[in-house]
Amino acid sequence: MIRKQWQVAKCDKDAAAQIAQELGVDPFAALLVTAHGTMPREALEVFFDPDPPLTFDPFSMKDMSAAAQRINQAIDRFESICVFGDYDADGVTATVLLYSYLEARGANVIRYIPDRMTEGYGLSVSAVEQLCELGVKLIVTVDNGVSALEEAQRCRQLDIDLVVTDHHKAGAQLPDAVAVVDPHRPDCPSPFKEMAGVGVAFQLVCALEGGEADMLLSEYGDLVALGTIGDVVSLTGENRVMVQRGLALMNAEPRPGLTALASAAGMGDRAFTASSAAFTLCPRINAAGRMGSAEKALELLLCEDEETAAQLAAEIQAMNSERQRTETEIFRQVLSRLAAEPALLKDPVLIVDGEGWHQGVIGIVAARMVERFGRPCIVIARDGETARGSCRSIEGFSVYDAISSAADCLTHYGGHPLAAGLGLQTSRIAEFRARINAYAAAQTLPFPVQHIDCRLQPQAISLDLLDALSVLEPFGAGNPQPCFGLFGVRLEEISPVSEGRHMRMVVSKNGARTGVVYFGMPEKQFPYERGDLVDLAVNLDRNVYNGETRISVIVRAMRPAVTQEQKVLDGMRLVALLQRGQPLTAAQAAQLLPERSLQIEVFKSIRQRPLRDRAYEQLCVRLGDDGGRYPAIAATVEIMLEMGILSVDELNCVSVTENAPKVDLERSALMQQIRSGLQRREEV
């Protein structure tokens, strides 16, 4: 269980009351909107409008006129056009959207999505040459192309025109193309920059139709919604409007492929929501590109026959199951590697590598590692002499800047502050690990943040409250599902479910009781006990079973209610310095030094009850400490582990070693490191 830094938003009750009165919305919904800061009156009206207008002008984007003109010319001349896409949900939906539109216009059009494993991301010279052999005269990229400098030059040489539509960050030089439509190019005056690749493709179609956005959204809105949600771009502004309408279209007139995919995923007759798109549909579309061919997902979304759709959905579901098994196995190997080489866990950035790991899932494994360890993580798949890595980070630490600091170790890299990809020679992995961690060690690494929108009492949880939240949907990046803080609740009941993979609890406060579920928290790593006072960060979800609607209270984070957070976080940073073997100041060493009486207390407590998940904060609670002695308590355990008095298993459970020999803790390397720090005070 990772420790997050909790941040509780400051809601403006007066502003909320005014919003509720003037706009006629639920007061609680208005209160939650104020938790995200002040919003202009015009923006509030659009946000709460059940049918907000589309206001974006596609021609406000640089080069849009040139792009539309060249594509319309190709349609009129019946030139061979290729829509060149990408293998993720955004790229697939963008490809389907533009391909479908051009086909409906009677264009001579084909589509091309590169193979993730053999071709990699984006336009390539080999693909350009292959398309030339097929007689293609115009390539239109979607969700890629803004960095295709060499490929654009090859297009020129082969007399193929190129139109780029993309949403990724543009470099200092743009491709030599007929048009480069990308809201992130520096000279693009577009007022809205946060579109996904499918959003840019939709704006291109609007431009081709002369701006008929409403009509086109009623036909392609489901694709726009699916790709926008899948790419985790901000669900604000025009994106929120498009996703709202797209979800409505998905529920009113679902494509046979989406109906079949939902059925294969076990969704039953449940309505399509942003959540089901994000956690059920998009992962399966992505799985096709990760484990097989994205062409299957493309065919599914284009399919109009229910029987064929069911067959394709079954194949994609099988790919997703394979993806889950592969991901789980690699994650198991990662944990085994970390258990065998615990020194790696001391690094501020966790970097693990393995031979033959599937490159299509290492990004997901890296994300799971971030959730498990609360630190930036990089997973590298080796393939003989070459390797490829995927990086995921936490809020406040740019993994892109980190890998840029070691760019000379890499053959290529790219990405964003929270996610990036890279390539390097296998022989340079150790050097890369050292360089990245030297960069990170020179900074104060932030803790993962747990945002709380509003404090909530258990007795306030009701279906009426859940209904009030519906006006805030769809939820996603930029408009997250509200997270509530249940502070100072008592654990009344604890029971494992699903063979110990999840925990179900009953908590109480002021006489009110409510059930909560902590998914992904294994029983053997759950450090709390009945009677403990805890704080919970929770989401509220609607659960319909046998026609009855109930509220599900889902735990997102948990901490003891009786410790002082800043003391604990400061203590964790100090212990990390000790574990990494960094020199300590006298003041730091004094906080870490465990007195003999504390050593006895810690040993007795763990002998009486093993410490699950190395939960040092919970050990502080056991010993009646508010977190002020966290450094010394944690240092005591680390020293005893080093000397063999205590042992830790593969689940990070600390217990007293059977028949442990008597040892002098003063001979511990960690203790000597602390003593060295204290000597600096004496020398001064």
Which residues span the domain enclosing 583? Answer: 565-683
Residue 295 lies in a domain: no
Indicate whether 433 and 493 sit together in one domain.
Answer: no
pLDDT of 684 above 70: no
pLDDT class of 682 with cuts at 50, 70, 90: low
CA 92 to chain CA centroid, nearest Å: 20
Indicate whether 73 and 202 sit together in one domain.
Answer: yes
Indicate whether 473 and 545 sit together in one domain.
Answer: yes
Please give the structure tokens belonging to residue 454.
Answer: 């509003």
pLDDT at 590: 96
The candidate with the shortest Cα–Cα distance to 556, out of 541, 543, 572, 571, is 541
* pLDDT tens digits for range 14-26: 999 999 999 999 9
Question: Which residue, 560, 576, 607, sits at the end of a domain?
Answer: 560
Tally of structural domains, the chain: 4
Instruction: Say if CB 542 and CB 492 are below 8 A apart.
Output: no
pTM, whole model, 2 decimals?
A: 0.88
pLDDT at 211: 78
pLDDT of 47 above 50: yes
Residue 284 lies in a domain: no
Indicate whether 518 and 652 sit together in one domain.
Answer: no
Please give the structure tokens belonging to residue 431.
Answer: 């050097």
Residue 556 lies in a domain: yes
Q: How many residues does the chain have?
A: 684
Cα angle 444, 612, 393; round to 5? 30
Helices and strands: H and E segment counts in the chain: 25, 20
Residue 396 φ/ψ, nearest 5 degrees: 100, -5
Indicate whether 528 and 588 sit together in one domain.
Answer: no
pLDDT at 413: 85
Residue 34 lies in a domain: no
Give the CA distances from residue 289 to residues 349, 628, 639, in Å, rounded to whole numbers and listed in that order: 28, 50, 47
Q: CATH number for the domain including 380?
A: 3.10.310.30
* pLDDT tens digits for range 174-220: 999 999 999 999 999 999 999 999 999 999 999 999 878 999 999 99
Tokens 């059977």 belong to which residue?
658
Please give the structure tokens belonging to residue 317.
Answer: 């579901």
Residue 480 lies in a domain: yes
Indicate whether 62 and 200 sit together in one domain.
Answer: yes
pLDDT of 564 above 60: yes
* pLDDT tens digits for range 606-630: 999 999 999 999 999 999 999 999 9
Instruction: Say if CB 144 and CB 151 are below 8 A apart.
Output: no
Question: Which residue, 514, 535, 560, sits at the end of a domain?
Answer: 560
pLDDT class of 262 with cuts at 50, 70, 90: very high
| Least trusted range by pLDDT, from 72-76, 487-491, 647-651 | 647-651
Residue 36 lies in a domain: no
pLDDT of 57 above 70: yes
Residue 504 φ/ψ, nearest 5 degrees: -110, 135
Choice between 6 and 290, residue whose per-residue pLDDT is larger: 6
Indicate whether 191 and 90 sit together in one domain.
Answer: yes
Q: Kind and range of the H or E element at 59?
A: none
pLDDT at 217: 95
Indicate whether 469 and 536 sit together in one domain.
Answer: yes
pLDDT of 445 above 50: yes
pLDDT at 439: 96
The candidate with the shortest Cα–Cα distance to 93, out of 284, 311, 322, is 284
Residue 234 lies in a domain: no
Strand 419-425 to strand 138-142: parallel, antiparallel, or no bridges (unpaired)?
A: unpaired
Indicate whether 677 and 588 sit together in one domain.
Answer: yes
* pLDDT tens digits for range 318-349: 999 999 999 999 999 999 999 888 889 889 99
* pLDDT tens digits for range 82-129: 999 999 999 999 999 999 999 999 999 999 999 888 888 889 999 999
Indicate whether 439 and 485 sit together in one domain.
Answer: no
Question: Which residue, 444, 474, 506, sits at the end of a domain?
Answer: 444
Tell me the average pLDDT of the chain: 93
pLDDT at 683: 53
Q: What is the 3-state secondary structure (H, E, C) of 66-130?
A: HHHHHHHHHHHHCCEEEEECCCCHHHHHHHHHHHHHHHHCCCEEEEECCCCCCCCCCCCHHHHHH
* pLDDT tens digits for range 402-411: 999 999 999 9
Q: CATH number for the domain including 488?
A: 2.40.50.460
Indicate whether 72 and 140 sit together in one domain.
Answer: yes
Indicate whether 426 and 454 sit together in one domain.
Answer: no
Residue 283 lies in a domain: no
pLDDT at 542: 86
Give the CA distances from residue 59 to residues 64, 189, 190, 490, in Å, rounded to whole numbers and listed in that order: 6, 10, 8, 57
Q: CATH number for the domain including 604?
A: 1.10.10
Q: CATH number for the domain including 172?
A: 3.90.1640.30
Q: Residues 417-420: contacts with CB within 8 Å, 24+ apart?
A: 417/393, 418/392, 418/393, 418/394, 419/363, 419/390, 419/391, 419/392, 419/393, 420/390, 420/391
* pLDDT tens digits for range 398-434: 999 999 999 999 998 887 888 989 999 999 999 999 9
Instruction: Say if CB 138 and CB 80 are below 8 A apart.
Output: yes
